[in-house]
Chain A
Amino acid sequence: GNSVTQMEGPVTLSEEAFLTINCTYTATGYPSLFWYVQYPGEGLQLLLKATKADDKGSNKGFEATYRKETTSFHLEKGSVQVSDSAVYFCAHQSTGTASKLTFGTGTRLQVTL
């Protein structure tokens, strides 16, 4: 069945460090891929998305490229800030009329000064 696997956290980095959070998926067809972020005390927010192979989603300095050959959608940022501390969820959306999002378990990022 459809699933999303992302690296376990917590991930602790110093400010200005490089961030990678790995995400792989299994799905039928050609799903859309997403990264959501959940800041402390807030709801889920869409961070970026990609809808087809080789697309690159980007937002707020974060990037992720849809790699169909490796079924991956790794999240990267060149220089993290303390304000990036949050939980990051990788997700895919099934094709067809239903638009169910399947989420990974989330990766907590803690950025320190």
Chain B
Amino acid sequence: EAGVAQSPRYKIIEKRQSVAFWCNPISGHATLYWYQQILGQGPKLLIQFQNNGVVDDSQLPKDRFSAERLKGVDSTLKIQPAKLEDSAVYLCASSLGVRNEQFFGPGTRLTVL
């Protein structure tokens, strides 16, 4: 069974530029999550989707971050404009449902210069 796929794996941009990350969850998984993991910290949930609807986006900085999950499968996370403090690893995870085990992708390491 294929795992959660993410791309790109690495991205370096300058501040004020925009960037987008892509996630393909495990087939059949209805719930999709985006986490931000700053160096030396644990992952922090940014947004959770159930199919193509948002369940929790309380910690998403909505002035610069946006996410969508069209057709309830793939998802994209965008940052525009990026700030230095956005440097982190962005993790995507998926699960069959809201109470099932979450499976994590390898993450995208973002460096903002």
Binding site for B on A (CB under 8 A): 4, 42-46, 49, 89, 91, 97-106
Contact = CB atoms under 8 A, between A and B. Distances in A.
Interface string B22-62: 00000000010100000011111100100000011000000
Interface string B95-109: 100110110111100
A104 B41 CA distance: 7
Contact of B44 (A43, A97, A103): A103
Contacts of A91: 42
Interface of B: 3-4, 31, 33, 40-45, 48, 55-56, 91, 93, 95, 98-99, 101-102, 104-107
Nearest to B38: A105
22 contacts: A4-B42, A43-B3, A43-B4, A43-B91, A43-B104, A44-B43, A44-B93, A45-B104, A46-B101, A89-B42, A97-B98, A98-B48, A98-B98, A99-B95, A99-B98, A100-B48, A101-B33, A101-B45, A103-B42, A104-B42, A105-B41, A105-B42
Nearest to A42: B106
| Leading 7 A-B pairs by shortest Cβ distance | A103-B42, A44-B104, A99-B98, A43-B104, A43-B106, A98-B56, A100-B45
Nearest to B103: A46
B56 A100 contact: yes
Contacts of A49: 101
A29 B96 CA distance: 23
B94 to A, nearest CB: 12
B55 A101 contact: no
By CB atoms of chain A within 10 A, which of B33, B104, B105 has the most? Answer: B104
Given A98-B56, A99-B98, A106 B45 contact: no
A98 B45 CA distance: 11
Given A89-B43, A99-B31, A103-B43, 10 more contacts: A4-B42, A43-B104, A43-B106, A44-B43, A44-B93, A49-B101, A98-B56, A100-B56, A101-B33, A105-B40
